[in-house]
Amino acid sequence: MIRLFTLREYRFFCYTHTRMSSFLPKSIQNLIDEFSRLPGIGPKTAERLAIHLLHSPHSKIVGLGESVLNMKEGVEFCAKCWHLADDSLCHVCRDEARNRGVICVVEHVLDVVAIEKSRAFSGVYHVLHGVLSPMDGIGPEDLKLYELEKRVKEGDVREVVLAVNPSVEGETTALYITKMLRPYEGVRVTRIARGLPVGGELGYADESTISRAIVGRMGVE
Amino acid sequence: MIRLFTLREYRFFCYTHTRMSSFLPKSIQNLIDEFSRLPGIGPKTAERLAIHLLHSPHSKIVGLGESVLNMKEGVEFCAKCWHLADDSLCHVCRDEARNRGVICVVEHVLDVVAIEKSRAFSGVYHVLHGVLSPMDGIGPEDLKLYELEKRVKEGDVREVVLAVNPSVEGETTALYITKMLRPYEGVRVTRIARGLPVGGELGYADESTISRAIVGRMGVE
């Protein structure tokens, strides 16, 4: 009797079989395995990266290896805004010129970097380190929400700009913060504008972006 | 007078300006710079990778860092076929079951891995480590061509399978090898088949692939 594999079984067989028997020296296969565990890097890209490094000068290999090992050296979270910092305070919170009356609330560290690169914001930040997501068991106590309320309570904050992403979880988090800050009179809660990106064409934009762009239209000065 | 930037100047300004002032701790910026020097990894991907590692357990960071540093440990080139090896001979040349009468000539190390994964070839390999390219100043003496001729001269080789890529340089290299091996009677030089990939549809294939598929047609058994 001939036993036929299903496509799924066949793929699994190929996968395990290829993994078990390596066709490259062990130290290089180790590196390929480590690279392919990184997000967005598949086995083929990992192979190419490893072979590229193999043909690179020794200094480049040492540079990358030591940067990885030392990456956490001296890195802390800013005691005020929870951004990454070299010291107890991050570069934004240390900067005397920043407007401490305006706090921009973001989900992640890289959102701060993205906004800083735009050079359009002169206030300070607050990094939540996530969004509310009951499905994944992430509640208010898992985020830096209490710390945000404390900052609003203590300092003379005039405005809190919500720059969370427009996902279901982001919207929930925005709503939570709006409610949380309602008792504080004199604190205005705003959201960054959603609309057509600069260079984006109307014909290619999705319905909800166009709808947000129309609702959020501004007077021409 | 208002001085207007050209788009090119503006982009250069943004680029240098963003590079100079880092918005992240130095050790993390170092890692991002190292990652973005790798092929196919842009600044955004490098940022994502670094932040992913930052949130990873310590063991994973050490695993990656040490794999990079130790990647060349014990890695040599096989004395026979110039594939990567743990020892003086690679796993293929060490394998007693392989057919030493058939040599498959490939450009790079990863080509050996790709053919090995297909499990369709039972002979041995010869890695050229490049292709002839007069434009880049790569001549026969820069490749492992002399070593190939030596193997053919010494051993009882019956067939040399050319598996170089169908680029201009690859074709030139194939022609060079064919001429080089002409004096050796009893050695057949072949090329791997070009044609439609398995799963590829005729309507989407380019003209030269279809042309090769028709020229290389085989009798149905």
Position B77 scores a pLDDT of 92
Is this prediction's pTM over 0.80? no
Length of chain B measured in residues: 221
What type of residue sits at position B155? G
Mean pLDDT of chain B: 87
Q: Does 3.40.1360.10 match the CATH number of domain A97-194?
A: yes
Cα–Cα distance measured from residue B63 to residue A61, given in angstroms and rounded to the nearest whole number: 15
pLDDT tens by residue, A89-119: 999 999 999 999 999 999 999 999 999 988 8
Length of chain A measured in residues: 221
Q: What integer is the mean pLDDT of B52-64? A: 92
DSSP A138: B
In sign, the C-alpha dihedral spanning B100, B104, B106, B109 is negative
B38 touches chain A (CB under 8 A): yes
A39 touches chain B (CB under 8 A): yes
Q: Where are the domains of chain B?
A: 7-69, 76-193+202-215
ipTM above 0.90, yes or no: no
> Which CATH fold would you assign to the domain B7-69?
Helicase, Ruva Protein; domain 3 (1.10.8)
Chain B hits for A86, CB-CB cut-off 8 Å, are 25-26
The phi and psi torsions of A146 (rounded to 5 degrees) equal -60, -40
pLDDT tens by residue, A151-184: 999 878 999 999 999 889 999 999 999 999 999 9
pLDDT tens by residue, B133-156: 989 999 999 999 999 999 999 878
Kindly report each contact of residues B141-149 with a partner whose C-beta sits within 8 Å and lies 24 or more positions away, as own/partner.
Answer: B143/B173, B144/B82, B145/B176, B145/B177, B145/B180, B147/B82, B148/B103, B148/B105, B148/B177, B148/B180, B149/B180, B149/B181
Q: Are strands B99-106 and B123-127 parallel, antiparallel or unpaired?
A: parallel
Q: Which of A28, A75, A117 is opposite residue B18, by nearest beta carbon?
A: A117
Position B16 scores a pLDDT of 46
The phi and psi torsions of A97 (rounded to 5 degrees) equal -80, -10
Q: How far apart are the first and last CA of chain B?
A: 82
Cα–Cα distance measured from residue A84 to residue B91, given in angstroms and rounded to the nearest whole number: 47
Element (H, E) at B152: helix B145-154
Q: Confidence class of residue B201 from pLDDT cuts 50, 70 and 90?
A: confident
Q: Which of A23, A39, A58 is opposite residue B113, by nearest beta carbon?
A: A23
Position A52 scores a pLDDT of 93
Q: Cβ(A68)–Cβ(A89) under 8 Å?
A: no
Q: Classify domain B76-193+202-215 by CATH number.
A: 3.40.1360.10
Q: Confidence class of residue B9 from pLDDT cuts 50, 70 and 90?
A: low
pLDDT above 60 for A5? no
Provide the token pair at B99: 């057919």
Contact between chains at B53 and A68 (C-beta distance less than 8 A): yes
Position A20 scores a pLDDT of 42
Q: Confidence class of residue A207 from pLDDT cuts 50, 70 and 90?
A: confident
The phi and psi torsions of B101 (rounded to 5 degrees) equal -85, -10
pLDDT above 80 for B88? yes
Contact between chains at A86 and B117 (C-beta distance less than 8 A): no
pLDDT tens by residue, B171-188: 999 999 999 999 998 899
